[in-house]
Amino acid sequence: MNLITCDADLEEGMAALRALQPHWAGIIDKVGLPPLRRRPGGFAGLAAIIVSQQLSVASARAVWARVESVLTPLTPERILAASDEDMRLSGLSRPKQRTLRAVAAALVEGSLRFEALEAATPEAVHEHMTAVSGIGPWTADIYLLFCLGHRDGFAAGDLAIQEAARQAFGLPARPKAAELAALAEAWRPWRGVAARLLWAYYAALKKREGINA
């Protein structure tokens, strides 16, 4: 697997995207070097992604702090042994409780193996992860991009990326996931850098509009 591990990798990808498609020059000139956004993987890394989904940054941090406090040590075995009261005290919604328990069970049973993801293609990572109840494409994409650091990961279903692509590429409407995935085929093997640039572009647009990104 080719990884994004440092700013030099981002710069290499940015240069490649400039050469692939003229629109990228304007995006790159606007946002500069995007954040690397790497994070630890494994069970804790995936759990953090699940917890933060559909929450503001502040809310996600607050819930995550409660999860780490109540469900310590944060291991699959601890999640499977947690009582309903433990889960309630953690602040997790019922769907997220079910997802964490499904992930924990899959890891203990061996149907989900993090080591199998480390050298896999983005498509294989998707297939392996979304086989677990509660893990959708977005969760798999975020793990692929930031925990594994795959340089060709992407998140076609992310609303911020979709809106950034609409404005950056002059699209008539915000593209749906399948439409954006098709557009992103031209950015291989640097879709992981493209995703980071589009997130940064979205943040820049929001600041221009006077809204907290």
Predicted structure pTM score: 0.91
Res 155: pLDDT: 96
Res 103: pLDDT: 98
Task: Name the token pair of 102.
Answer: 């499904």
Dist. CA 189–CA 111, nearest whole Å: 28
Res 119: pLDDT: 86
Dist. CA 1–CA 121, nearest whole Å: 8
Q: Using 50 as the pLDDT threshold, list the residues of the chain that sit under it.
A: 209-213
118-174 tens-digit pLDDT: 889 999 999 999 999 999 999 999 999 999 999 999 999 999 999 999 999 999 999
Using CA atoms, how far residue 8 sits from 12, 35, 62, in Å, is: 6, 12, 33
Res 41: pLDDT: 94
